[in-house]
Amino acid sequence: MKKILTTISCFVSLSVLSQSYKWVQNEVTAKYRVYITSNKSEATVLGYKVSSYTEVLKPGLIYFAPAYFNKATPIYKVNSASKADIIIYWVDSKEKAKWLQ
């Protein structure tokens, strides 16, 4: 039983950290390039911003951490969808949030 709970705990932790991002000013230091779109059909993520990393409970819920948050994934904002690794379209509810690709 302890092993199962540890596995579930690790999975939840990885899920939370994988959707906790911090903006960086240098593209070289970023793990992903991100484009924010107003065109839902080009999105790879239907994202919903949450106010705490503890709220990231499913794919698509995104927490933008402060720069000093070491476990957050560094991302760089680009001005074109063709340059992006992740394309986010913001949705108006947590229920609509999800990864599309």
pLDDT band at 101 (very low <50, low <70, confident <90, very high): confident
**Residue 4: pLDDT above 60?**
no
- Helix segments in 1-101, DSSP class H: 2-18
User: What pLDDT is stored for residue 68 in this prediction?
Assistant: 84
pLDDT digits (tens, 9 = 90+) for 29-46: 999 999 999 999 999 999
Top pLDDT among 13 and 58 is at 58
pLDDT band at 18 (very low <50, low <70, confident <90, very high): low
- Stated as kind and residue range, the H or E segment containing 21 is strand 20-23
- Does the CA dihedral 52-84-80-24 come out positive or negative? positive
| Confidence (pTM) | 0.78
Non-local CB neighbours of 80 within 8 Å, separated by 6+ positions: 35
**Residue 70: pLDDT above 90?**
no
- The mean per-residue pLDDT over the stretch 54-71 comes to 88
